[in-house]
Chain A
Amino acid sequence: MSWLESSFRSGARWGAVCFALLNGGCNAMISERPNSGLNKVSPSGGGASAIASGGASAIADIGAAGMPIRPLPTAPAEFGLGPAAMTRLTSAAYLNTLRDIFGGEYARGVATEPDFVVSGLTSIGARSASVSRAGVRLYDTAANSLAERAFGDANFRATWLGCVPTGPADATCAAAFVSKVGRRLFRRPLSVDEVTRYANVILATGASAQDFMVGAKFALVGMLLSPKFNHLVELGVPESGGRLSYTDHELAARLSYTLWNTTPDEPLLSAADTGALVGGNTLTAQTDRLLADEARLADGARDMATDLYALSKVDSVNKDAARFTQDSPTLRASMREATLRLAADTWVAQQAELTSIFESQVAFVDANLAPLYAVGPPAIGFARLVLATESPRIGLLTEPSLLTMLAGPNLTSPTKRGRFIRERILCGTIPDPPPNVDMGIPVTAVGQTRREQGADHMKTPACKGCHSAMDPLGFGLEQFDALGQFQATDNGQPVDASGELDGVPFSDARGLARALRTNPALIDCTVKTLFRHVVGRLEDATEQAAVDSTVAYYAEVNGQLRPLLRRLVLSESFRKAAVAP
């Protein structure tokens, strides 16, 4: 998924990038390559040798044949086990955790290291990311200011201290405080050694400051700074067959962060304390309880949408300030929020099929976004708008966030938009341009439409190989400019938003959305990305049967989020692990 990182900070790159006379390289995107994110095909490497007939004809094959037909699974197949690894809390999960343990005001203004992306997803990156020196410093700063605030908060002291210290040397009270707050922070009861370790911070620091509360404050700082708090420590316990089974508390945390994107609440933690999640049958009951909570599940859905569509990038793409005077950080934040609301509404509140988001008639609009939808601003916050059936906008792809993110500073980019659909939505792979492309071609076209400016992409045989798999998809969104505004004309000419997806022609964004919904790769890819997001790794080649099985299940449950998540978190691939390397 290299395209994503590589496209954003740059300006529009469309008119001149073109594949030179090199043997194709683009059939990679149509092949079934479950591990595509890791084994990127390079046009000069293995990929090129596989292309006997050249890229262009390989593309034609997709249109004719669609996805390769696989036999339906005879028995449900399960995903395998990935290696155990510590999971660094994503920025959103860290803030949600502070919010839920200490209160919403404690999470405000807290800065963390940005999430780490591997194979296109933060959920995968979180399992290999380290914390840099600057990141440790940010945790330390957050911990100090949070603890300072907490100990000035009578409510906090009443909730968590649980004893009245007799003085700075009150070891009993120190141990009680550490045990109580530590259980919430580490998401499990502390070991005797851990209680002693942090109680000693209270006693030592309290003695220096001659104040128990100062000592307790710094013990809290320490626990907040420990990787046992800001990571999910997933060690598991060995079971037969060289496998690891996650403990009750590890499982509780996995469940909570996956479904709610936050720390386990007291009922879940208590269930883990009894040891019944692994041994008994309360795992199902707890899973169902978490899935039933619409508001909390919406947090999980928002996190999923952010990860799947890389929505954090909406804020950082750069635009021509002279052309888009209305652009601002607040507008970008509104764009992102609107899309997150659409995801939560579609997947959780409406319980609609996951891929129905591409044909949703709903949009969330606040005062900043109202002009884009030609409606008046809502009185307060976001309004849920049901779009008219003749509206040019439809579903996720016409969300201002994605249209803005997938465009240049002043011009649209059918290539970027098409590549997003091809790679992120359909799980195809498109290689980077080969080396013998002239990247410095002057754009001389005046008065041409965007489509005309990029015409060489679709004419030159060497370019066509890859671009015909991207640009015709992106053309469907040409009615929306680089800031997601509707445009009827482009350089004075009427916009032609016709295109084609794997042999299915369309004339506008609505047609593109329909073609996407009927593309056989869509559900396959949706299932894969859901798995990747939940389990935090790419599926490997041996797991295709499990993908197929899940696709079959998807049809059975009408593609609804809750049963799909339920199946994944109750599966062995979520509950167990292979030994860490």
Chain B
Amino acid sequence: MVKNTLDRRRLLRGMMTGAGVAIGLPCLEAMLDDNGDAHADGTPLPQRFGLWFFGAGTHPGWTPLTPGQLVLPEGLTALQRHRDYINLVSGLECESFGDYGTNRHTMGCSSVLAGAPPAPGHDMQPGAATIDQLVAKSLTSSGPRSSLEVAIAYEEAISFSDVNTPNRPTRDPRQLFQAVFGGLMPSVGSGVDTKALRAAYLDAVQDDIRELNLKLGKADRDRMAQYLEGLNELQKEVASLPRTTSPTTCVPPNDALVDIDDAVISSNESGLSAINRANSKILAAALACDLTRVFTVNFSTFNSGPWFPLDPSLPNNHHELGHQSDPNMSRSVGFIMERFAEFLDALASFSEGANHILYNSSILVQSEVARNHELENMPTLMAGNAGGVLRTGLHVKASGPTTRASFTAAKAVGAALSSFGVQGAQTSEAISDVLA
């Protein structure tokens, strides 16, 4: 296992330079119980739920031939180093709610992410709240941010709080770093109580909305409820600001941005690997610091056509290769899986208890279509063990809607969901083969 980068030396350095800020309670081994699976006071280690999404499907060879121990097929071999921490689930279908004429990318994203049909008029987006937001809402104890949304190729939302509320991800690692760690820095001169200063105006805006709500119709009140959630989160963050630094300081991953500049950000596909590495580090650090327990990574959004940089180069973009049944599709998928493997590297680099934060996570990998834009045998990976709830290293053959995998991953981290999805996508049945 890669050594935890949140080590004593860095903590000390952070303290000495004054750069550190206390954010939540990072899990240091000294604070763990003897087994390393809970804090010394008996509080269980945080479990994270994540969705790592890539657009436009896979190649025909995605599915291994036999169930049982996972033998990674062509296109997935980059995951070999993490094979013992992942499952490949085959045989799940994208429920299409009887509306067979709807664009498959639209149907796929709505059905897979929200377990619901797309909403009329709202095109190319889920028609209801997505699984990550349902999990975020149902977890009683979470970090200061109820969820964190990250993008790699396109800054488009795959996470929705409701049909009118896309949670747009952040793609530029500099902005992500700032959003996650920057807001925790004191913004006013030394000696001033920052918390009280920001709390006053946040209170006033909330009062403004409460007064407004008395005059609004239901639709507008629902919209203002989302606004209030945003303000609540800012308030939570303000409340977590320290007055002084302390030994429980959590250090931002300051080396995450070394490869990032304007050229990388505007370079489209050629910058993807660098952006993926940087955002993976930042996200993993945020999870290690317990700033959030729910995340989405929109690697390449639904219906997208990124053209992956490989040598020798591909004859077309990912989307087109799929349409044309081009055998190069497996290389394109291979590029995506390498990036996912790098994300798992970042998670595995943070020790936690007897294992690492990948072990204490439950991560879904999904796309909105399968091979040839079909809605059957949908690509599904599950990574992490949710602290031991899930067993891994398997190819599991399953049946039913894709929502079964989502439901399983959500329940594994203790989400208080009795079921997920509607109509044909509704399920309350976990995939038992992956339960430990």
Residues of A within 8 A of B (CB): 1-2, 4-6, 9-13, 16-17, 25, 37-40, 42-45, 47, 83-86, 113-114, 116-120, 124, 128-137, 140, 144, 193-194, 197-198, 200-201, 204-205, 208-209, 214, 218-219, 221-222, 225-228, 233, 235, 316, 318, 320-322, 328-329, 408-409, 431-435, 438-443, 579-581
A579 touches B217 (CB 8 A): yes
> Contact between B165 and A409 (Cβ–Cβ < 8 Å)?
no
The answer to whether A581 and B219 have CB atoms under 8 Å apart is yes
| Cβ-closest chain A residue relative to B317 | A11
A368 vs B168: C-alpha distance in the bound complex, in angstroms?
31
The answer to whether B192 touches A137 (Cβ under 8 A) is: no
The CA of A346 and the CA of B135, in the complex, are separated in Å by 51
Contacts of A119 in B (CB 8 A): 121
Query: Separation in Å of the A151 CB from the closest CB of chain B?
Result: 12
With the chains together, A128 CA to B122 CA distance in Å?
11
Contact B319 A11 (CB under 8 A): yes
Question: In whole angstroms, how far apart are the Cα atoms of A316 and B153 in the complex?
Answer: 11
Within the complex, the shortest CB–CB distance from A491 to chain B, in Å, comes to 16
Contact A228 B303 (CB under 8 A): no
Distance, CA A200 to CA B199, complexed state (A): 12
> Is B142 located at the chain interface by the 8 A CB criterion?
no
Which residues in A have their C-beta under 8 angstroms from that of B21? Answer: none
CB of B240, distance to nearest CB on chain A (Å): 15
Q: Are B325 and A136 in contact (CB under 8 A)?
A: no
Q: Mark B170-194, 1 if CB is under 8 A from A, else 0.
A: 1000000001000100011000110
Q: Interface on chain A toward B: helix, strand, loop, or mixed SS? A: loop
Q: Which residues of B contact A200 (CB under 8 A)?
A: 200, 204
Query: B220 touching A580 by the CB < 8 A rule?
Result: yes
- With A and B bound together, what is the CA distance between A17 and B166 in angstroms? 30
Does B34 belong to the interface (CB within 8 Å)? no
Q: How far is the CB of A570 from chain B (nearest CB, A)?
A: 26
Q: List the B side residues contacting A580 at CB < 8 Å.
A: 216-220
In the assembled complex, the CB of A218 is this many whole angstroms from the nearest CB of chain B, namely 5
A318 shortest CB reach to chain B, Å: 6
Q: Identify the closest chain A residue to B228 (Cβ).
A: A136
- Of listed B121, B216, B320, B326, residue having the most chain A CB within 10 A: B121
A selection of 15 A-B contacts at a CB cut-off of 8 Å is: A10-B56, A10-B319, A11-B319, A39-B120, A40-B120, A43-B100, A43-B101, A47-B101, A116-B164, A117-B123, A131-B223, A144-B187, A200-B200, A320-B317, A580-B217
Known interface pairs A132-B167, A321-B268, A440-B325; A44-B209 also in contact (CB < 8 Å)? no
- Tell which of B145, B200, B268, B374 touches A204, judged by Cβ atoms closer than 8 Å: B200
Let me know if B218 and A137 touch, CB within 8 A. Answer: no
CA distance A214 to B226 in the complex (A): 29
- Residues of A within 8 Å of B326, CB to CB, are 442
CB contacts (< 8 Å) of A47 on chain B: these are: 101
CB-defined contacts of B371 to chain A, threshold 8 Å: 440
| Interface contact B373-A440, CB-CB below 8 Å | yes
Given contacts A6-B106, A133-B233, A434-B100, contact A440 B322 (CB under 8 A): yes
Chain B's nearest CB lies how many Å from the CB of A5?
Answer: 4
The 4 closest A-B pairs by CB, nearest first: A136-B230, A580-B217, A440-B372, A222-B201
Q: Are B227 and A130 in contact, with the CB atoms below 8 A?
A: yes
The answer to the question of B208 belonging to the interface, with a C-beta cut-off of 8 Å to chain A, is: yes
A116 to B106, CA, bound (A): 16
Closest Cβ–Cβ distance, residue B99 to chain A (whole Å)? 6
Can you list, as one digit per residue, whether each of B84-128 has a CB less than 8 Å from chain A (1) or not (0)? 000000000000101111111110000000000000111111000
Is B353 an interface residue when CB atoms closer than 8 A count as contact? no
Contacting residue for A130 out of B161, B306, B324, CB 8 A: B161
Q: Give the residue name and chain of the B residue nearest to A434 (CB).
A: B101
B243: Cβ under 8 A from any A Cβ: no
> In the bound complex, do residue A16 and residue B323 qualify as a contact, i.e. CB atoms below 8 Å apart?
yes
Interface residue B337 (Cβ < 8 Å from any Cβ of A) = no
Residues of B within 8 A of A17 (CB): 323
Contact A114 to B99, CB < 8 A, known contacts A11-B305, A86-B216: no
B197-224 at interface with A (beta carbon < 8 Å): 197-198, 200-202, 204-205, 207-209, 211-212, 215-220, 222-224
Bound-complex Cα distance A119 to B119 (A):
11
CB distance from B281 to the nearest CB of A (A): 20
Which residues of chain B are near A321, meaning CB under 8 Å? 268-270, 307
Q: Does B7 sit within 8 A of A, measured CB to CB?
A: no
- In the complex, what distance in Å separates the CA atom of A433 from the CA atom of B271? 34
B304 contacts the other chain (Cβ, under 8 Å)?
yes
Query: Which of B96, B164, B209, B325 is the one whose CB lies under 8 Å from A435?
Result: B96
Known: A321-B269, A409-B320. A209 touches B188 (CB 8 A): yes
Neighbouring A residues of B188 by C-beta, 8 Å: 209, 214
- Chain A residues with CB under 8 Å of B201's CB are 201, 205, 218-219, 221-222, 225
Shortest A51–chain B CB gap in Å is 13
Taking A132-B161, A209-B192, A579-B217 as contacts, is the C-beta distance between A228 and B208 under 8 angstroms?
A: yes
> Residues of A contacting B305 with CB < 8 Å?
9-11, 318, 409
Q: Tell me which residues across on chain A come within 8 A of B149, comparing CB atoms.
A: 134
* CB closest residue in chain A, given B164: A130
Mask for B345-375, Cβ within 8 A of A = 1, else 0? Answer: 0000000000000000000000000011110
CB nearest neighbor in B for A48: B101
A520 to B170, CA, bound (A): 45
Q: Give the residues in chain A near B183, CB-CB below 8 Å.
A: 137
Provide the bound-state CA to CA distance between A180 and B204, in Å. Answer: 18
- Chain A residues in 8 Å Cβ range of B227: 130-131, 136, 227
Chain A residue nearest to B156 (CB atoms) is A9
When distances are taken between beta carbons in the complex, the residues of chain B under 8 Å from A40 are 120
What are the residues of chain B within 8 A of A214 when measuring CB–CB?
A: 188, 197
Known A201-B201, A227-B208, A439-B373: A1·B192 in contact at CB below 8 Å:
no
